[in-house]
Amino acid sequence: MIEIIVACLLGIFFGIVCGLIPGLHTNLVSSILVAILPIALNYISPFIAMIFIICLTITNIFFEFIPAIYLGAPEEDTNLSVMPGHELLLQGKGHEAVYLMSTGAKLGIFASFVMTFIFILFLKTTYPFFERMMFWILTWICIFIIAGEKNKMISIIFFILSGFIGIGALNNQINQPLLPLLTGLFGISGLIESINQKTKIPNQNLKLTKISFDKIKAPLIASLAVSPLCSFLPGLGSSQATIIGTKIKKLDRKQFLILNGTINSLIMYLSFVTLYLIERSRTGSAAAISSIITISFKDLLIIFCLFVLIGLTTSKLTLKTSSFIANKINKVNYSKISIGVITFLTVMSIIISGTTGFLVLISSTLLGLACQKYNVRKGILMGCLLIPTLLIYLPL
Amino acid sequence: MKLDKLLLFFSLFFTLLLLFLINFEKPIAEGKITRISSDKESTKIFLEDASLIWLKNRTKLELKIGNQIKVYGKPAENTNNTLIFAEKITCLNC
């Protein structure tokens, strides 16, 4: 019992650290975990290691909202939330932005209870069909994303160019290629723009307005429609699910943040259900767990209970941390913070991904900046992952 | 040239450079095939240094035991580079 409690507390602690450090995504943390697990398993049981990974994962989901909103430094799952989140920050509502994403994440945890039964009933029988149709599903998603843009020609150019960068990043032997790729496209480019515009963060309002059920309905429906597909099909993740979700239901800025939060937690939990049902890992955490244990139905129930308990606890911790940061952020020079974050992310990219990774970072940052100058929505740049995946599933 | 066009130009330039660099990637494994086993979904190729090459059954494979191959791909993260997901295989003595 004590071992379980210690594993939970350590998982929460490291989840907070990993969530708050910009650019340190769960997949990167999971790959570090997988490397050290063989040593750790000499001292702890696989079950305790699983508890630790789950607690770290859940905490990270909530705490990664904070650097995404306050520093404009997103990770793979939060990259699309940077723009609307940053807009709210500039209106003095950064804390509200974190609250909205946190509420969405809690919603996702409870929605996953319903989705688990649907998955258990249908996933095993339908999965082979979806896998065969993968190329056509991805093609449809690409068309769906571009069709919603105002200037389609420019959007297609940026989509294809981001696809080329993705191909370059994923086919050179770079360690953790997604780090420089997504950091450049969505993180550093946005931070450079903030410095250019001499962004000054206004006083942050800590008052939170209660979210009505009508406000939640649209993002909840959109996430329930999209997340299941994106949680078990390869090549699709939270970012793609968010883009599709916004096309299914028209959402305002606040609903978008709720959607992003819901999708993050829903997809993460459903990745464990997918691991149980069809033994496929779709997230770094699921891959880490699959390397040490074969999940049983009992383990799945334990994972769900942890998601609920730790999720509810962590959401409160996240809001407390957010209110602390919100009180301080307008007192510091935001340009200096942005420069500091850019330097940190660049150094991390070079250390982890090497010189070729640095080249990816430069290309992706330049494209992200160009995207902003041409007023193209940054969601288009998800071509960096969609096009390489499309090529893998090309039916030739 | 305007800033937006300049950014797009340099982005394209560095992207092409990245794509060019793919030609210089080193193989992740190299050796003689000692065993090949296939099932409905995948083919596993065993090399003499105990590396296991895994690939999905999407294209016809014309490799035999004794072929010397170079493998390009990514190692599975939890297997000390002994399990490799192949993206490209070059046969040296086919």
ipTM associated with this complex: 0.73
Note whether B18 contacts A37, CB cutoff 8 Å. no
Lowest mean pLDDT among A30-44, A100-114, A276-290: A30-44
Nearest by CB to residue A363, choosing from B15, B28, B77, is B15
**A235 in contact with B at a CB cutoff of 8 Å?**
no
Q: Is the pLDDT of residue B91 over 60?
A: yes
R_g of chain B computed on alpha carbons: 18
- C-alpha torsion A34→A35→A36→A41, nearest 10: 60
- A162 in Cβ contact with A383 (< 8 Å): yes
Q: What is the mean pLDDT of residues A188-216?
A: 80
**A360 in contact with B at a CB cutoff of 8 Å?**
yes
Per-residue confidence (pLDDT) for residue B78, from 0 to 100: 53
Measuring CA to CA, how many Å separate B92 from each of A159, B32, B64?
Answer: 37, 10, 12
Note whether B14 contacts A362, CB cutoff 8 Å. yes
- The residue count for chain A: 396
pLDDT in tens, A2-35: 888 998 999 999 899 888 887 666 666 776 776 6
Q: Which residues on B lie below 8 Å from A172 (Cβ)?
A: 18, 21-22, 25
**B78 in contact with A at a CB cutoff of 8 Å?**
yes
Q: What is the mean pLDDT of residues A41-53?
A: 85
What SS3 class is residue A361?
helix
Nearest by CB to residue B78, choosing from A34, A161, A172, is A34
For B68, which DSSP code?
A: E
Note whether A167 contacts B17, CB cutoff 8 Å. no
- Chain B residue nearest residue A39, CA to CA: B78
The CA-based angle A284-A38-B30, given to 5 degrees, is 75
A43 burial (CB, 10 Å; 0-12 / 13-18 / 19+) is: exposed
Per-residue confidence (pLDDT) for residue A27, from 0 to 100: 67
What's CA A365's distance to the chain center, in Å? 19
- Nearest alpha-carbon partner for A291 in A279, A305, A303: A279
Contacts with A, B 29-58, CB within 8 Å: none
Q: Is the pLDDT of residue A75 over 60?
A: no
Nearest by CB to residue B7, choosing from A169, A366, A396, is A366
Alpha helices in chain A (DSSP H): 2-20, 26-40, 46-63, 65-66, 82-90, 94-132, 134-147, 152-171, 178-182, 189-196, 213-232, 238-248, 253-278, 284-290, 297-329, 334-373, 383-392
- A104 in Cβ contact with A241 (< 8 Å): no
Note whether A168 contacts B15, CB cutoff 8 Å. yes
Q: Is the pLDDT of residue A295 over 80?
A: yes
Q: Is the pLDDT of residue A337 over 90?
A: no
Pairwise pLDDT comparison (A167 vs B88), residue with the higher score = A167
Sorted by sequence, the CB contacts under 8 Å of residue B54 that are 6+ apart come out as B42, B43, B44, B76, B83, B84, B85, B86
Per-residue confidence (pLDDT) for residue A365, from 0 to 100: 94
* φ, ψ dihedrals at B38, nearest 5°: -125, 145
Whole-number Å distance between alpha carbons of A16 and A21 = 9
Mean pLDDT of chain A: 84
Note whether B78 contacts A165, CB cutoff 8 Å. no
**B8 in contact with A at a CB cutoff of 8 Å?**
yes
Per-residue confidence (pLDDT) for residue B76, from 0 to 100: 67
- Chain A residue nearest residue B60, CA to CA: A396
- C-alpha torsion A53→A59→A61→A65, nearest 10: -150
What SS3 class is residue A349?
helix
Q: What is the mean pLDDT of residues A135-159?
A: 87
As a whole-number percent, the residues of chain A with pLDDT over 70 amount to: 93
Question: What does the block give as tokens for A238?
Answer: 């939270």
Pairwise pLDDT comparison (B93 vs A103), residue with the higher score = A103
Contacts with B, A 47-66, CB within 8 Å: none
Measuring CA to CA, how many Å separate A181 from each of A76, A165, A175, A330, A360?
Answer: 10, 8, 12, 30, 6
**B81 in contact with A at a CB cutoff of 8 Å?**
no
Q: What is the mean pLDDT of residues A123-148?
A: 84
pLDDT category at B77 given cuts 50, 70, 90 is: low
**Mutation for A interface: B11, B13, B16, B58, most A CBs within 10 A:** B11
- For β-strands B83-91 and B42-47, DSSP reports them as unpaired
Whole-number Å distance between alpha carbons of B7 and B11 = 6
What SS3 class is residue B32?
strand
Nearest-CA distance B17 → chain A (Å): 9
Per-residue confidence (pLDDT) for residue B61, from 0 to 100: 66
Note whether B18 contacts A363, CB cutoff 8 Å. yes
Q: Is the pLDDT of residue A47 over 70?
A: yes
**A35 in contact with B at a CB cutoff of 8 Å?**
yes
Q: Which of A173-182, A285-294, A298-307, A326-335 is modeled with the greatest confidence?
A: A298-307
Q: Which of A85-94, A302-311, B38-47 is modeled with the greatest confidence?
A: A302-311
Residue whose structure tokens are 């200037």: A151
Note whether B18 contacts A360, CB cutoff 8 Å. yes
- A164 in Cβ contact with B15 (< 8 Å): yes
- Nearest alpha-carbon partner for A289 in A303, A278, A309: A303
Note whether B77 contacts A35, CB cutoff 8 Å. yes
Within 10 angstroms of residue A264's Cβ, the number of other Cβ atoms is: 32
The CA-based angle A62-A312-A1, given to 5 degrees, is 105
Whole-number Å distance between alpha carbons of A331 and A349 = 29
Pairwise pLDDT comparison (A16 vs A187), residue with the higher score = A16
Q: Which residues of A128-141 are buried (b: 16+ CB within 10 A; e: fewer)?
A: eeebeebbebbeeb
Q: Which residues on B lie below 8 Å from A394 (Cβ)?
A: none
Helix crossing, A134-147 with A152-171: angle to 10°? 140
Q: Is the pLDDT of residue B85 over 90?
A: no
Q: Which residues on B lie below 8 Å from A356 (Cβ)?
A: 18, 21
- A7 in Cβ contact with A48 (< 8 Å): yes
Interface contacts A/B by beta carbons within 8 Å: 71
Per-residue confidence (pLDDT) for residue B56, from 0 to 100: 62
Note whether A367 contacts B11, CB cutoff 8 Å. yes
pLDDT in tens, B3-50: 888 888 999 999 999 888 877 777 878 888 888 887 766 778 888 877
Contacts with B, A 292-351, CB within 8 Å: none
Whole-number Å distance between alpha carbons of A372 and B18 = 22
Nearest by CB to residue A370, choosing from B7, B59, B74, is B7
Q: pTM for the complete prediction?
A: 0.77
Nearest-CA distance B21 → chain A (Å): 7
Question: What does the block give as tokens for A336?
Answer: 């200096």
pLDDT in tens, A211-264: 788 888 888 888 888 888 777 776 677 777 777 777 777 778 888 889 888 988
Sorted by sequence, the CB contacts under 8 Å of residue B1 that are 6+ apart come out as B9
Whole-number Å distance between alpha carbons of A259 and A105 = 8
Per-residue confidence (pLDDT) for residue A33, from 0 to 100: 72
- Chain B residue nearest residue A177, CA to CA: B74
